[in-house]
Amino acid sequence: MTTFDLLLQQTINGLSLGAMYSLLALGFTLVYGILELINFAHFNVFMVGSFIAMGTLQLFGLHGQEVILTGMPLALVLIAAFTVTMVASGALGVAIEVLSLRPLRNVKGPAAMITTIGVSYILFNVVLLNQGADAKNFPNPMPAKRFHIEGATLDLRVILIWIVALVLMVGLYLFVQRSKMGKAMRATAQDPEAARMMGVEVDKVIITAFFLGSALAGAGGMIFGLYYNFTSFIIGFTAGLRAFTAAVLGGIGNVPGAMVGGVLIGLIEAMAGQFIATAWADVIIFSILVLVLVFKPAGLFGRLAPQKS
Amino acid sequence: MREPMLLEFRDVNTHYGDLHVLKQVNYAIGKGEIIALLGGNACGKSTTMKTIMGVVRPTSGTVQFDGKAIERLPTAERVRRGIAPVLEARRLFPRMTVFENLEMGAYLRKRGTEFDEDLERVYDLFPRVKERRNQIAGTLSGGEQQMVAMGRALMARPRLLCMDEPSMGLSPRYVEQVFDIIQAINRQGTTIFMVEQNANMALSIAHRAYVLQTGQVVLSGTAEELRRNPLIREAYLGEMQVPAG
């Protein structure tokens, strides 16, 4: 392969990773924008999402890579599995908010953030106890169809991952920009007290943010499984930290920023792995996090944090 | 039986932790009135506004709106019943457009002909707001932001408009304009309760006024009476003669 082919190939890989990180980063950014809370439980909502997706695909009789579907059956199975995964993950996020965070709403200091770390470990251990420590073979019903562009290959499933991520991100963006609840979310992020005095019920806004963020994390978990053909109780931390970095890079609280930040982190990971060494990818990613925090604390696209009143 | 007051505070006390803010406060605001609430810094004026909106709950006493106790109702329910705020320092949603800010004012109402009528009414009162409707609210001047804040409150079609320092930080030209518009809104049937540092301007349009000092109502009466009161002249009116024009 020529350098150009490698570059092309790693761009394709990076965009796939980036799609996943973007979906995950959106959850951090939505919740942070409204509560100024870094939700570490989000890491493992993503991980649980990949297990929900695996279970759903298995319910359709799909195990490992034995069963290959095409055409309409494939589309229906994937749509059904994404829907179930997203709704269940969203419900998990709402449960986390209602059961563990709402009681702490008026407690100042890091109590809520520490709680999200605790919830993260609970999810981690529950899955470990239930599913065991070994990596699971994630069902993949997609035909191994490949396209060749110059010297690079583009898998059918990669195209599908891009389409799903794009549809979800455009959908979220339109929801936040156009819908009544989306406007209430933005208003609450910009000035919670003023929003409340317009009649916005802030608890509903918070629940919506958790539902949407967690649903997207679930979709990200399913994409992880489809992309790597495995899942494990341990996948949340690395992906979660990278996605969190993506959210900070784009400007935490900023929805388009999280999308772009995710894609950038994905590209950096792929390029670093190719041209330097895989072991250096995280060093580079987190060095970028440190540099952003030092030189551009508001992120590349500025931050949409609430105003202090 | 006499018609109930639109808004009534009866022996209201509020606390922030150990700090006793409002002390046995009574207000009675009739339908169609413009009432000014005067007082210095940290005397409880903003707490009064927050108590009306339900952001602060009284520790004792009752707040009645249109004859019904509202002190335990959530903010959204109060807005639904017809109370809308114009917040201190405008408090627009700075990264939303002017139009989106107006939409937020009508948050609890359905979109439809009433919404369109109210939008027209706001655009009639504030032609400048119409011109700027697609602009990001945070980029407007202070005076324009005050217009949007008032328009946003009117989009709730309120029966009671609670205004916290509508003249704060505005140039004298805008202050005149804002007070003219407050009178116009009142003539269209909206009752107005306004907290104001600019006692001179406030008393020039108010029907009645209350004076708060360290959380207590120390004086109340018609605007005319208060303008003639020596205490008021000295404490609030004297200093306001400087920035005229």
What is the structure's pLDDT at B1?
Answer: 55
For the ranges A124-138, A294-308, B159-173, the lowest mean pLDDT is seen at: A294-308
Q: Are B67 and B3 a contacting pair, CB within 8 Å? A: no
**CA neighbor of A227 nearest in space, from A152, A131, A124, A155:** A155
Residue A247: pLDDT band by 50, 70, 90 thresholds?
very high
Residue A205: pLDDT band by 50, 70, 90 thresholds?
very high
B74 close contact with A: CB closer than 8 A: yes
**CA-CA distance, B42 to B212, in Å (whole number)?**
10
- CA A201 to chain B, closest CA, distance in angstroms equals 7
- Determine, for residues B91 and A195 on separate chains, whether the beta-carbon distance falls below 8 Å: no
CATH of domain B1-82+160-245: 3.40.50.300
What is the structure's pLDDT at B243?
Answer: 44
pLDDT in tens, A5-60: 999 999 999 999 999 999 999 999 999 999 999 999 999 999 999 999 999 999 99
Residue A69: pLDDT band by 50, 70, 90 thresholds?
confident
Closest A-chain CA to B78: A199
Give me the residue label for tokens 């982190």.
Answer: A265
Residues of chain B neighbouring A201 (CB-CB closer than 8 A): 74, 76
- CA B55 to chain A, closest CA, distance in angstroms equals 8
- CA A149 to chain B, closest CA, distance in angstroms equals 42
Global pTM value: 0.91
- Determine, for residues A194 and B80 on separate chains, whether the beta-carbon distance falls below 8 Å: no
Q: Are B164 and B45 a contacting pair, CB within 8 Å? A: yes
Closest A-chain CA to B105: A198
State yes or no: pLDDT of B153 exceeds 90: yes
**CA-CA distance, A249 to B235, in Å (whole number)?**
53
- Tokens representing A125? 């251990």
Residues of chain B neighbouring A202 (CB-CB closer than 8 A): none
DSSP bridge partners of B83: B160
Q: Are B43 and B19 a contacting pair, CB within 8 Å? A: no
For the ranges A76-85, A201-210, B35-44, B65-74, the lowest mean pLDDT is seen at: B35-44
What is the structure's pLDDT at B88?
Answer: 87
> What ipTM was reported for this prediction?
0.90
Residue B232: pLDDT band by 50, 70, 90 thresholds?
confident
Residues 6+ apart with CB under 8 A from A199: B75, B76, B79, B80, B107, B108, B156
DSSP letters spanning A46-111: HHHHHHHHHHHHHHTT--TTT----HHHHHHHHHHHHHHHHHHHHHHHHHHIIIIIGGGTT--STH
B57 close contact with A: CB closer than 8 A: no
What is the structure's pLDDT at B245?
Answer: 39
Residue B241: pLDDT band by 50, 70, 90 thresholds?
very low
DSSP conformation class of B136: B
3-state secondary structure at position A24 = helix
What is the structure's pLDDT at B2?
Answer: 65
Q: In what order do the strands lie in the sheet with B25-29?
A: B25-29, B7-13, B60-65, B68-69
**CA-CA distance, B243 to B245, in Å (whole number)?**
6
**CA-CA distance, B118 to B116, in Å (whole number)?**
5
- Determine, for residues B76 and A309 on separate chains, whether the beta-carbon distance falls below 8 Å: no
Q: Which CATH architecture has domain A3-295?
A: Orthogonal Bundle (1.10)
pLDDT in tens, A270-307: 999 889 988 888 899 999 889 988 988 888 887 544 43
Residues of chain B with CATH 3.40.50.300: 1-82+160-245
State yes or no: pLDDT of A262 exceeds 90: yes
- Determine, for residues B79 and A198 on separate chains, whether the beta-carbon distance falls below 8 Å: yes
Residues 6+ apart with CB under 8 A from B129: B98, B102, B122, B123, B144, B147, B148, B151
pLDDT in tens, B76-106: 999 999 999 999 888 999 999 999 999 999 9
> Could you say which of B94, B95, B107 has the minimum Cβ distance to residue A198?
B107
